[in-house]
Amino acid sequence: MTKSVKVIESWRDQQQKKFDELQQQFTEMNQQKMAHEQRLELLESLSGQYSVGSGSEASALLLKGIGRFRHQLDNLTNLQRQELALSEVELRSMNARLVEQHCQVKKGDKIIDKRMAQFQLKQARQEQKILDELSMNRFFHRR
């Protein structure tokens, strides 16, 4: 194997390591996004649970407390929606970086394959040249 192939393999291994690290980060970010989704679903389900039915007796203090709580719950729900949206943007960005890094790894693989094919072709030609010379020598020695 040639020295240039070893250098390229080393570079490709570095790119693969970066890809693996990005893949791990992507997985963690995806888990965070799913956690944001779960929290949002929980907050949205809580909002419907805290309402006063029509015709039921409720004190002004209770209504005021429920109103304040629902307002805070709405604020938390909006913040959670923003967190989820931010998480989705970060996840798309990370996905783009992941795809780009995967391309780098594949470029390294293709370059290595091309260089190895050239190296093998060169070796095959040298072997064929040696075999031809041996065959010629044998032919002339038999005469």
What CA–CA distance (Å, rounded) separates 29 from 9?
A: 30
Longest dimension (CA), the chain: 123
The residue that leads in pLDDT, 88 or 136, is 88
pLDDT-based confidence at 92, cuts 50/70/90? very high
**Mean pLDDT in residue range 61-83:** 89
47 or 61, which is more confident? 61
pLDDT band at 56 (very low <50, low <70, confident <90, very high): low
End-to-end, the C-alpha distance of the chain in Å comes to 40
Q: How confident is the model at residue 4 (pLDDT cuts 50, 70, 90)?
A: confident
State the chain's mean pLDDT as an integer: 89
Percentage of the chain lying above the pLDDT 90 cut: 66
Band (pLDDT 50/70/90 cuts) for residue 1 is low
Tens digits of per-residue pLDDT, 125-134? Answer: 999 999 989 8
Average pLDDT over residues 117-136: 92
Kindly tell me if the per-residue pLDDT of 48 is higher than 90: no
Give the model's pLDDT for residue 102: 96
Query: Residues 5, 116: contact at Cβ < 8 Å?
Result: yes
Query: Could you give the domains of the chain?
Result: 3-50+60-142 (1.10.287)
